Structure 1
């Protein structure tokens, strides 16, 4: 459920958390008050989780899982995390790079056959920094991964020469996933479960759930109309707030990919968003990780200040 004032609420929440060391209980009282007020005003319906030095400082659920308002949201409820899901395809690629299965300088035409000549110009690394020159998906006609592939094969030209400019789009993400499938010989959703979710204990994370999947939140509008489950293309990730914490901590502790791979994913083009959202390194040390995502009536926020041992997650519908 989305309202125009939600971004103001997010900013207020962020300012409190970002500038807080959580040295005093008053800070959690203030957070709780803000969330309860936001819920009463219809600005927040979801889960919040805050961790300080591996201790849960605040954890709470607000609202209902869908427009019927028959089932309350719990800590077990899984939400669509919007664009944060893009981290998973990026990490999946680096798992294959570290395994010697592909190279960041490989052209995408090596893996996706029958692309026009521009396919030889786009390197895997361009997909990670949104500098491929690919346009966005044609949402009005896209009904499946096959439609995406057909659109790419019929694309006459790029928006710009690869590596020369920045354009944040979903075609880059789809191509990443196609490459993971081609190189690994495994469907992308199976790959992320076996190679990313399972090794770090993300036991409830799921890609592309169905309407019958248990503990799934359905985003809904202010007029109480449920969103449809996004099933047009592969790789839409639903997680709990605690699973998002496991994901974040695994990246910080280099459990899935090494430090050099994290640095590569954290590189941005002219200060724009990287494959991991917005990250900050200081003296070779990873300091902060900020990423937000939106999908229809879902929104999610991940912010971690690793130097302070502070992890914060908001997931709402």
Structure 2
């Protein structure tokens, strides 16, 4: 753990040693020294995540309205080694919803929509039975009862360029509601897509045009937009998914199907402009902005409340027992994940964008909040298995074994049976079966009851021509797990071969 309260007295000691210095109480320390220390701590924390392969993206941290850190890590395009930067454009998934909410509230402020009247007032084509029960408020708060998943959407992976919001809405509009509107919270992408369609119907503009006119142009968000697969978008990151430190290109997704629920891209810099605009009336009068951040409905699954396009939740400061109220939303879409956390009580923001489908963004945010509030926080631990794998490739087997023995009990590392198994397969696939055997034996030493390690060792030994040892390890695997069908099958095959 690292904390400003441990570093600050040391810094002040050295400052006091200068010819014109005097002792300064930590509470009265120069703000620039405190800020530099926070910046240094954030950098060290995030670089640790990046070095361990846990973060590939960009982030921005603002404290009391001022950016104290922004940086890119890893690659925007792994095939070409193009680095992520603070102006790299990432898909932001469901963070799009807060922009949709602003468009809707803008129409409410202009008396073109009412939050609490049925949507049948605005959509004559929407099935009346449902439309007369659902209000704009229900859609904004995920309490409409509209099903979130519907089979027709899943089947239509590719759509023509002129695919309309009306066609998208038609896919779910006639489905029975899952519960009475307003009775509970149930996260619903379909509801926000319906809001996008309503915006189009009222304004006469396409959803992306409304975003540009109402939000992006006034706020000079020049690196934010509605993502389209065919468009050439400068500095757009490629999306990936990761499986045990191996990276793959993400699956294709037609952003027209994601629409007003999650089709935007942006940068950490533009999202900070957005964050700061929400403290002003540049887009909406204050009373309408306030309604966006109200606790309209409880979200039991998240442990907080939902406003309009935002969640409101008390979050811990580092790993302390203290909490602070945050306005937050994340976004996840194939190849990308993102989170923006606002702390209105001190005009601070933490923005994390990743072009890998899964990343520990919540843990990273928690650590950064600890730094901002001078509280203790956790740093990530490195995998022993993958450290061994790196050492084998960089230093050879003997030094890798020494490294393994040195770090396996180190609190900065963790040992995982599953990762030991995965790492052994990586070695086997790299035509290094002897190294795989060594790693699996180390794994069995640490996890003597792990049937899967015995099973994998049996496979490795078989590839090395050590059939008797292979049979022995498959037997141990089955002894630990009598339902290990692969072990049973391989053992029968090996024993049959021995008889011949």
Q: TM-score range by the shorter chain?
A: 0.7 to 0.9
Indicate whether 1:246 and 2:273 are aligned: yes
The residue that corresponds to 2:63 in the other structure is 52
Q: How do residues 15-30 of structure 1 correspond to structure 2 at under 5 angstroms?
A: 23-30=34-41
TM-score, length-scaled by structure 2: 0.55
The Cα of 1:314 is off from its aligned counterpart by 0.9
Stretch deviating more after TM superposition (175-184 or 226-235): 226-235
Indicate whether 1:98 and 2:106 are aligned: no
The residue that corresponds to 1:312 in the other structure is 350
The residue that corresponds to 1:225 in the other structure is 249
The residue that corresponds to 2:207 in the other structure is 188
Alpha-carbon displacement from aligned partner over 1:193-236 (angstroms, at most 9, x marks no partner): 01111111111111123352211112112232244354233341
Quickly say closer, same or farther: Cα 1:230–1:28, change in 2 above 3 A: farther
Indicate whether 1:87 and 2:80 are aligned: no
Quickly say closer, same or farther: Cα 1:128–1:103, change in 2 above 3 A: same
- Kept in 2, the 8 Å contact 1:47–1:59? The answer is yes
Indicate whether 1:262 and 2:300 are aligned: no
Q: Distance in 1 between matches of 2:306 and 2:240?
A: 28
The Cα of 1:146 is off from its aligned counterpart by 4.7
Q: Distance in 1 between matches of 2:269 and 2:221?
A: 8
TM-score, length-scaled by structure 1: 0.85
- Kept in 2, the 8 Å contact 1:108–1:120? The answer is yes
Quickly say closer, same or farther: Cα 1:133–1:81, change in 2 above 3 A: same
- Kept in 2, the 8 Å contact 1:46–1:315? The answer is yes
Identify which of 311, 316, 336 aligns with 1:298.
336
The residue that corresponds to 2:404 in the other structure is none
Q: Distance in 2 between matches of 1:100 and 1:280?
A: 30
Quickly say closer, same or farther: Cα 1:40–1:76, change in 2 above 3 A: same
Q: Distance in 1 between matches of 2:101 and 2:35?
A: 37
Please state whether the residue corresponding to 2:82 is helix, strand or coil.
coil
The Cα of 1:273 is off from its aligned counterpart by 2.6
Q: Distance in 2 between matches of 1:57 and 1:313?
A: 12
Q: Distance in 1 between matches of 2:174 and 2:345?
A: 47
- Bigger relative contact order, structure 1 or 2 (CA pairs below 8 A, ≥6 apart): 1
Identify which of 134, 147, 156 aligns with 1:122.
134
The Cα of 1:31 is off from its aligned counterpart by 1.4
The residue that corresponds to 2:119 in the other structure is 108
- Kept in 1, the 8 Å contact 2:291–2:307? The answer is no
The residue that corresponds to 2:311 in the other structure is 278
Q: Distance in 1 between matches of 2:49 and 2:199?
A: 40
- Kept in 1, the 8 Å contact 2:140–2:309? The answer is no
Please state whether the residue corresponding to 1:289 is helix, strand or coil.
strand
Quickly say closer, same or farther: Cα 1:296–1:168, change in 2 above 3 A: same
Identify which of 199, 217, 220 aligns with 1:198.
217
Please state whether the residue corresponding to 2:341 is helix, strand or coil.
strand
Q: Distance in 1 between matches of 2:108 and 2:172?
A: 24
The Cα of 1:100 is off from its aligned counterpart by 1.4
- Kept in 1, the 8 Å contact 2:312–2:326? The answer is yes
- Kept in 1, the 8 Å contact 2:141–2:309? The answer is no
Q: Distance in 1 between matches of 2:293 and 2:63?
A: 23
- Kept in 2, the 8 Å contact 1:208–1:230? The answer is no
Q: Distance in 2 between matches of 1:200 and 1:61?
A: 23
Q: Distance in 1 between matches of 2:78 and 2:123?
A: 41
Please state whether the residue corresponding to 1:27 is helix, strand or coil.
helix
Higher Cα Rg: structure 1 or 2? 2
Alpha-carbon displacement from aligned partner over 1:71-97 (angstroms, at most 9, x marks no partner): 111222111112111001111000011
Q: Distance in 2 between matches of 1:163 and 1:224?
A: 41
Q: Give unpaired runs (5+ residues) of structure 1.
A: 1-11, 282-286
- Kept in 1, the 8 Å contact 2:118–2:136? The answer is yes
Q: Distance in 2 between matches of 1:128 and 1:113?
A: 20
Q: Distance in 1 between matches of 2:352 and 2:80?
A: 20
The Cα of 1:32 is off from its aligned counterpart by 0.9
